[in-house]
Structure formats: C-alpha cells, structure tokens
Structure 1
Amino acid sequence: MKKAGIIMIIGSLLLLGLFKFPLWNIMLGAPQYPDPLGMNIYIQGIEGNEEFDIQNIDGLNHYIGMKTIPKAEEMWEFDVFPKVIGFMVVLGVIIGVLGFIGKVSYKWFLGWFVLMSVLGALGMYDFNLWLIDYGTDLDPKAIMAYTHPDGTPMTYKPPLIGYQKMLNFDVDSWPATGAYMIFVGMLLTVVAFFVGKKESKQVA
C-alpha cells in the first residue's frame, strides 16, 4: 500500500497548517465602519484582522454588556487544541508509514478519519457553546441594554456559520484557511482508504 500510505501521510501533515493559519473568521461591518472589524480564531488564540480590531470590538461590546474577547491563557481550549492536533498529525503519519511498509490494514486510514471527525465535531460543539456564552451572558448594568418587543433582553450570539444582522452590524462567520486545510487533509485520508483497499485487492 505504498501509494495509499503516502496519501495518508500527506493528508495528516496538512493539519499542521492550523499552527500557521486561522481556523475561523468572524467579521463585523456597519455604516460607521467602512473597513469591517474582524477576528481570526486560531487553535492557539484569537487575533484581530487588523492591529486594533480586537480593542475596537471590545470597546463596542462594552456598551451592550458583552465580555471582552478572551486571551489565550483564559481558555483551556487554546492549550488543549494544539496538543490534540499535534497528536493527530503524529498518529496519522505513523499509520501512513506503517501502511506504506505493509504493517497495517488500509482500514486504519478510515479509523483515523472517524476519530478526527469526532474530535472535529466536539471542537465545533465547544466553539458554539462559547459563542452562546459570549453573546448571552451580558452585564445587566451595561450602558445600553436593548430588549425585544416582549421585554426580554436581547442577546448577541454570533452565528456559528453564515450571516446574521445584529443591531446595525452585519456579522459574517465562516471557516478560514486552516479549516479548509483540515477538510482537504481529511478528504485525502478517505482517498487513502480507497486506494489502499484497491492496492490490497491487487496484491491478493
């Protein structure tokens, strides 16, 4: 399974892009901001699209009682996620090498894909929980407390994915380069599974 093993190794190594490129991007545009404010979410922390974007977003959020955007040391995820990705890269490369030399079945490639899918789903679930907390746990003493027509407090959860109008802001939340690298990497491991299956039949 030499070809399958090489594809598996390449797919696993693509996850290393997460240490360089953002996983997710959230942009906020409004008439008073011709250049939208944005933040890039990496597996190691959150950074602004531009130098003062985080500071400006925190300033706006202060008026409606939202928390400040957390620093890396304030969220356990930014300590755990890099370790998980590093482990999955190493595991994938080991499986790919063992497949290359014929020591493991092609089914291990699919096993890696399933494990990565579960971890990815848990990561997205955790990210959504953070967005819910970020947009709903508001300071009741905020300078500007908006309410719905029925009197209930307005919340400001950004969308997990897609577009949403919040007050006079247009909010866009989409996967970034790192997420696409994960997708391609995982797709390659599925390709490796089918190539390995075909190679195994040829040997048999």
Structure 2
Amino acid sequence: MKKAGIIMIIGSLLLLGLFKFPLWNIMLGAPQYPDPLGMNIYIQGIEGNEEFDIQNIDGLNHYIGMKTIPKVEEMWEFDVFPKVIGFMVALGVIIGVLGFFGKVSYKWFLGWFVLMSVLGALGMYDFNLWLIDYGTDLDPKAIMAYTHPDGTPMTYKPPLIGYQKMLNFDVDSWPATGAYMIFVGMLLTVVAFFVGKKESKKVA
C-alpha cells in the first residue's frame, strides 16, 4: 500500500498548518469602524487581525459587560489542543508509514479519520460553549446594559458560523486557513483508505 501510505502521511502532516495558521476568524464591522475589527483564533491563542483589534474589542465589550478576550493562560484549550493535534499528526504519520510497508490494514486509515472527526466535533462543541459563555455571562453593572422589549437582558453570542447582526455591528464568523487545511488533510486520509483498499485487492 505504498501510494495509500504516502497519501495518509501527507494528509496527517497538513494538520501541522494549525500551528501556523488561524483555525477561525471573527470580524466585527460597524459604521464607526470603516476598517472592521477582527480576531483570529489559533489552537495556541487569540490574536487581532490588526495590532490594536483585541484592545479595541475589549474596550467595546467593557461597555456592555462582556469579558475581555481570554489570554492563553486563561483557557485550558490553548494548552490541550496543540498536544491533541501533535498526537494526531504523529499517529497519522506512523499509520501511514506502517501502511507503506504493508504492516497495517488500510482500515487503520479510516480509523484515524473517525477519531479525528470525533475530536473535531468535540472541539467545535467546546468552542460553541465558549461563545455562549462569552456572549451571555455579562456584568449586570455594565455601563450600557441593553435589554429586550420584554425586559430580559440582551446577549451577544457571536455566531458559531455565518453572519449575525448585533446592535449596530455586523458580525461574521468563518473557518480560516487552518480549518481548511484540516478538511483537506482529513479528506486525503479518506482517499488513502480507498486507495489502500484498491491496492490490497491487487495484492490478493
């Protein structure tokens, strides 16, 4: 399964892009901000699109009672996620090498894909929980405490994916380069599975 093994190795190594490129991007645009504010979410932390974006977002959040953007040491995810990705890359490469030399079945390629899919789903679930907490756990003594017509406090959870209007801000939340690299890498491992299956039939 030489071809399948090589494809599996390449697919796994693409996940290393997460250590360089952002996984997600959230942008906030408003009339008073001709250049939208934005933050890039990496597996190791959160950075602004521009130098002062995080500072400006925190300033806006202060007025409506939202928490500041978390620092690396304030979220366990920024410690755990890089280790998980590193483990999955190493595991994928090992499986690919073993497949190249015919030491494991092509089914291992699919097993890696299933495991990565589960971990990815858990990661998205955790990310959404953070967005909920970030947008709903507000300071009741905020300078500007907006309420709905029925008197309930207004919340500001950014969308997990897509567009949403919040007050006078247009909020966009979309996958970034790192997420697309994960998608392509995982797709390649599926390709490796079918190529390996085909190669195994030829040997048999």
TM-score, structure 2 normalization:
1.00
The alignment's C-alpha RMSD in Å is 0.2
How many Å apart are 1:139 and its aligned residue? 0.1
Deviations along 1:77-126, one digit per CA (max 9) or x if unpaired, are 00000000000000000000000000000000000000000000000000
- SS of corresponding position for 2:197: helix
- Cross-structure match for 2:143: 143
Equivalences for 1:14-163 in 2 at 5 Å? 14-163=14-163
How many Å apart are 1:130 and its aligned residue? 0.1
Rounded Cα–Cα distance in structure 2 between residues aligned with 1:192 and 1:125: 28
Unmatched runs of 5 consecutive residues or more in structure 2: none
How many Å apart are 1:162 and its aligned residue? 0.1
Deviations along 1:125-161, one digit per CA (max 9) or x if unpaired, are 0000000000000000000000001110000000000
Rounded Cα–Cα distance in structure 2 between residues aligned with 1:164 and 1:72: 27
Structure 1 runs of 4+ aligned residues shifted over 4 Å read none
- SS of corresponding position for 1:66: coil
How many Å apart are 1:173 and its aligned residue? 0.1
- SS of corresponding position for 1:117: helix
Rounded Cα–Cα distance in structure 1 between residues aligned with 2:71 and 2:146: 27
Deviations along 1:48-99, one digit per CA (max 9) or x if unpaired, are 0000000000000000000000001100000000000000000000000000
Rounded Cα–Cα distance in structure 2 between residues aligned with 1:123 and 1:111: 18
Rounded Cα–Cα distance in structure 2 between residues aligned with 1:74 and 1:146: 27
Rounded Cα–Cα distance in structure 2 between residues aligned with 1:166 and 1:191: 41
Q: May I ask how many residue pairs the two structures share in their alignment?
A: 204
Rounded Cα–Cα distance in structure 2 between residues aligned with 1:9 and 1:99: 10
Rounded Cα–Cα distance in structure 1 between residues aligned with 2:43 and 2:106: 30
How many Å apart are 1:19 and its aligned residue? 0.1
Rounded Cα–Cα distance in structure 2 between residues aligned with 1:72 and 1:181: 23
TM-score, structure 1 normalization:
1.00
How many Å apart are 1:176 and its aligned residue? 0.1
Rounded Cα–Cα distance in structure 2 between residues aligned with 1:194 and 1:150: 56
How many Å apart are 1:16 and its aligned residue? 0.1
How many Å apart are 1:45 and its aligned residue? 0.1
- SS of corresponding position for 1:142: coil
Rounded Cα–Cα distance in structure 1 between residues aligned with 2:102 and 2:199: 11
How many Å apart are 1:26 and its aligned residue? 0.1
- SS of corresponding position for 1:78: helix
- Percent of matched pairs sharing the same residue: 98
